Structure 1
């Protein structure tokens, strides 16, 4: 396995540049902030950006926890990529990560200052310092489980080739748990309003009686009681209402909906 190191100060755009670098050098996998990303999927690990403190984030990035280290090491062995890009803020940091995960010594070191301009690095620092946003080099749907309830959006890199636009990679922008901007929270009243909106768009649902919300570590569980219209295909209508409700809540709040239990209280 060929091991690359991508090195640069915090907030200089390393994670943003990682996907481009992997495409350019045909690197199969990335180790970034506690995650092992292989072939554009999160294969193992816990994101440092999900930790509650900056100290916790550093520990996660360095794989100090034995369970975390073992999980990622085993995933690397199982997937056996031909190459890996290890991202860190210093030579010492990437060397520690490599040693901790039992990888070979770094074959090639790439410094962010050598592959980006000062303007690009300034833009990255602004995004980090003023907006509290961080980039993770993996598609958004791969991160939903770890970042339930936090700002998250896809960032696609588009290339114009032979007169047509082609989507060449996707990264995700997240706001870390330890960000000074804090954590999103949502009230039951807001959740109820969203579900009422789904009901108004569904002619098969007559009324919503009750909405219960339980906030879990990786998302929310919902309990909804409703009255449906008489004379409809009730199982099909209930499934459709469940599906539409989950979709709207996840879209509008960024929370994962682990489950939505729907109780039909009656027909009118």
Structure 2
């Protein structure tokens, strides 16, 4: 197995550039920030950026947890790649990752300064300093369950190739350990959002009760509603499910696992 390292200080745009670098070199597998990536798929591991503190994030990125380390090692052994790209903030870091995963010596090193201009590096640093933004070289749907409740956005990157355009997707997140500060979203806020959505749906008299179940991957929302007589129950409740899932996810970045709608009463208009 041939090991290539891609090295650059934190906030210089390594992860943003990584897919392009890997494709230019014909490398299909990337180890970055605690995860093993093949193309646009997460094969194993958990992103360090999903950790709640800087120290835990560093430990995750260096594969210091045995269970995490063995998960990624087993995936590498199973895939048996010819070449693999390791991304790190220093020579020492990529060497530690290679040793932890038992990949052997690093054959080639590429530095961010060799593939990015000074202007690109400074722009990346500015985004990190002012907005706390980090890039993960995977489509949002691949990492969403590990980032439920973390602000994230999809980043589509277009590269010009000799045979045309190539578009691939990355994800921008602001980790909870960002120096910009942490944030929490209470269950009460979720309930108020859902009640407001329900009040705007034609055919629903009101949301009687909203309650949530919290899981590591996201939340399950259940809502009891009073529906007005004369409206199609299935169509109305299905529309509410879709609206709740879409709007709550958009407003909070929380991964919505399921929306349960319970019809508890049919109300006749103008009845007391």
1:151 paired residue number: 151
Q: Deviations over 1:21-60 (max 9, x none)?
A: 1121121011111011112111111111122221111111
Q: Separation in 2 of the partners of 1:216 and 1:79?
A: 31
2:77 paired residue number: 77
The question of whether the paired residues in 1 share the 8 Å contact of 2:199 and 2:207 is answered with no
Please, what TM-score do these two structures have when normalized by structure 1? Answer: 0.91
Q: Separation in 2 of the partners of 1:209 and 1:61?
A: 45
Verify: 1:117 aligned to 2:117, yes or no. Answer: yes
The Cα shift of 1:4 comes to: 1.0
Give the gaps of 5 or more residues in structure 2: 268-272
Give matches, 1:246-261, under 5 Å. 246-261=245-260
The alignment's C-alpha RMSD in Å is 2.2
Q: Separation in 1 of the partners of 2:243 and 2:196?
A: 10
Q: Separation in 2 of the partners of 1:236 and 1:78?
A: 46
Which contiguous aligned blocks of 4+ residues in structure 1 show a shift greater than 6 angstroms? Answer: none
Q: Separation in 1 of the partners of 2:69 and 2:159?
A: 36
Verify: 1:263 aligned to 2:262, yes or no. Answer: yes
1:96 paired residue number: 96
The question of whether the paired residues in 1 share the 8 Å contact of 2:195 and 2:210 is answered with no
1:204 paired residue number: 203
Count residues with an aligned counterpart: 267
Q: Separation in 1 of the partners of 2:72 and 2:11?
A: 24
The question of whether the paired residues in 2 share the 8 Å contact of 1:156 and 1:167 is answered with no
Q: Separation in 1 of the partners of 2:195 and 2:130?
A: 36
Q: Separation in 1 of the partners of 2:79 and 2:183?
A: 35
Bigger Cα displacement from structure 2, 112-121 vs 184-193 = 184-193
Instruction: Provide the secondary structure at the position in 2 that maps to 1:186.
Output: coil
Q: Deviations over 1:135-179 (max 9, x none)?
A: 1111111121111111100111124679x8x45211111111211
1:28 paired residue number: 28
Instruction: Provide the secondary structure at the position in 2 that maps to 1:143.
Output: helix
The Cα shift of 1:189 comes to: 4.4
Instruction: Provide the secondary structure at the position in 2 that maps to 1:250.
Output: helix
